[in-house]
Amino acid sequence: MNVKLMTMLFRKLGYELLVAANGREVLELLEAEAAKGRQHEVECILMDASMDVMDGIECTRVIRAHQMQSRTRPWIIGCTANVTEEHRAACLQAGMDDFVPKPIDVTLLVNAIKAAYRNGKRQADSSNTQSSSAAASTSSAGDKQ
């Protein structure tokens, strides 16, 4: 499935897209979004495991290492034509959350996106609970914000 078709599919599903040609561009886009204060809005990344300049496995490792410094954790769906169990394991070990083989089956992709959405809701609910708890404990300690 080519980029134009994927773009049309995602827009039809109601998603805003950022498109990158390689892993380095993915990192640059994420940095640009963070600079705009939108780092929490990148919730899902469809990551091709085999790209030029920086492949998706290395890019995922960088994203996961960087996220430890922030509270963002985008759901990363790996996609590749190399569907060996070793390659799938390498993708998941690098920090990808899901894996969709190429050629992409739209049903599998939509299911992976739904899983990303469910995970995002859990993170948001957890974040809201943590924020409320932190605010309550701060208030009870008498600190002013």
What phi and psi, each to the nearest 5 degrees, are found at residue 63? -60, -45
Check residue 135 and give its pLDDT: 29
Check residue 77 and give its pLDDT: 93
Q: Show the DSSP H helices in the chain as ranges.
A: 3-12, 23-35, 56-67, 85-94, 106-140
Nearest by Cα to 47 from 100, 123, 106, 107: 100
Instruction: Say if residues 33 and 3 touch (Cβ distance below 8 Å).
Output: no
Instruction: Say if residues 99 and 92 touch (Cβ distance below 8 Å).
Output: yes
Check residue 27 and give its pLDDT: 92
Check residue 141 and give its pLDDT: 31
- The pLDDT profile of the chain, 145 residues, written as one tens digit per residue, is 578 888 888 888 888 888 899 999 999 998 888 888 765 678 889 999 888 899 999 999 999 998 755 656 889 999 988 888 998 899 999 999 999 998 888 899 889 988 888 887 666 665 554 332 222 222 223 333 3
Global pTM?
A: 0.77
Instruction: Say if residues 127 and 141 touch (Cβ distance below 8 Å).
Output: no
Check residue 58 and give its pLDDT: 96
Rounded Cα distance between 33 and 41, Å, is 8
Domain ranges in the chain? 3-127
* Residues contacting 127, CB < 8 A, separation 6+: 71
Question: Two tokens at 115?
Answer: 């899983």
Check residue 130 and give its pLDDT: 38
Check residue 139 and give its pLDDT: 24
- Domain spanning 3-127 has what CATH number? 3.40.50.2300
* Residues contacting 135, CB < 8 A, separation 6+: 145
